[in-house]
Amino acid sequence: MPNLPYWRLSGFYFFYFAFVGAMSPFWGLYLQSLAFDAFQIGVLMSLLQVMRIFAPNIWGHLADRSGRRTTIVQIAALGSVLAFAGVFVGSGFWWLFLVMALLSFFWSASLPLVEAMTLSHLGEHTHAYGRIRLWGSVGFIIMVVGLGYAFDHVSIAWLPWAVMAVMLGIAAFARVIPEAEVLPHPTDHHSVWDVVRRPEVASLLAACLLMAVTHGPYYTFYSIYLVDHGYDKSTVGWLWALGVICEIGIFLVIPRIFARVTPRQLILASFALAALRFLVIAWGVESAWLVWGAQTLHAFSFGTYHAAAVALIHQHFRGRHQARGQALYTSLSYGVGGTIGGLASGLAWETPGPAWTFTFAAASAALAWAVYAAWGRSRPAMSESRASSPKAMK
């Protein structure tokens, strides 16, 4: 792949997920330092997901109609920086509500489009996706470990400055990502909703939504949960980092895994291991060994899950539907599912309590397994089956 813009794509992923490494583990603690209660924290954190319900579909539709995906990524990156600057102006609940809503509207536009461009640049070599995506995991680790140590010594009030720094990095790499050619596909004459209505696609999207619900308590309250049980912030940072280190390992070997296991089999295994992981977090938090062991399962509950989900979405949504397919995946899973998971965890955190909140998360992963196991085997329409790999659609 001599023309692959490897480092420009990898650099974008690096800073994009460095942002996630700052926000997911520490933004809840930052909001807690502003004296917000659990429900308010759940609401504000869920806004990072709420706009994903609508925004990616709006941006994805514009991208597919205009064919100018890079321009939209650049606009979204700049809009994110300008929106986030609002955190330096005020710290009231409703002000931060507005700031985080605007931030999410722009921020959520970028990743589905960059995912679609990355897969377009890879062409027939989509198995190499993990080699590019792993740099996002590296960015996450550097940020989460670095901030974990920093906040043992300095006030968490410095967090917004760290976030702003990585957002400027996102904007810089958005400027240099080259546009990718969108090749015509036999299904281009179909409506995107014709694809969504197929049982194997609808069940996949529903299962991904449930998987995002599963992770709602994790991304909203996991750091708070650990700190409340006596773990210091540097240890919390390393626990987050361990999960992502395991994720990187999966991304490195995923081409060999795909050679032996279909994406469908892989995503079902990921759902099952996610249920186990969150049960261990729920009832084993007093045991450091169990907590550390549960984090290694992030390799499956995110690493193999994400790789398999992106591969399946790419198989189902081809040609002119690429950007909208990735946008629908983001909207329905991280948008709808993430919002439900974040808000539900905020409501459940105080009653019935943290352990049961994570238990409900495990149940959501088990339900995702059941949904996709039951309906994910359906075959694509004949007009589309010739354009897809039989093995990949099993």
Contacts of 227 (CB under 8 A, 6+ apart): 29, 233, 236
Query: All domains of the chain, ordered by start, with CATH?
Result: 10-177+190-385 (1.20.1250.20)
> Distance from first CA to last CA of the chain, Å, rounded?
28
Distance in angstroms (rounded) separating the CA atoms of residues 350 and 302: 27
Are the beta carbons of 336 and 53 closer than 8 angstroms?
Answer: yes
pLDDT for the residue numbered 187: 52
Segments of the chain scoring below 50 in pLDDT: 380-394
Distance in angstroms (rounded) separating the CA atoms of residues 366 and 335: 20
Per residue in 18-60, pLDDT tens? Answer: 999 899 889 988 999 998 988 898 889 888 777 878 888 788 7
pLDDT for the residue numbered 183: 55
pLDDT over 90, % of the chain = 49
Contacts of 369 (CB under 8 A, 6+ apart): 207, 268, 271, 272, 275
Q: Kindly compute the dihedral angle of the four CA atoms of residues 240, 127, 200, 380, in this order, to the nearest 10 degrees.
A: 170
Nearest to 365 by CA among 339, 393, 342, 341: 341
pTM over 0.95: no
Per residue in 213-253, pLDDT tens? Answer: 999 999 889 999 999 999 998 899 899 889 989 988 998 88
Per residue in 152-161, pLDDT tens? Answer: 889 999 999 9
Q: What 3-state class would DSSP assign to 161? A: helix
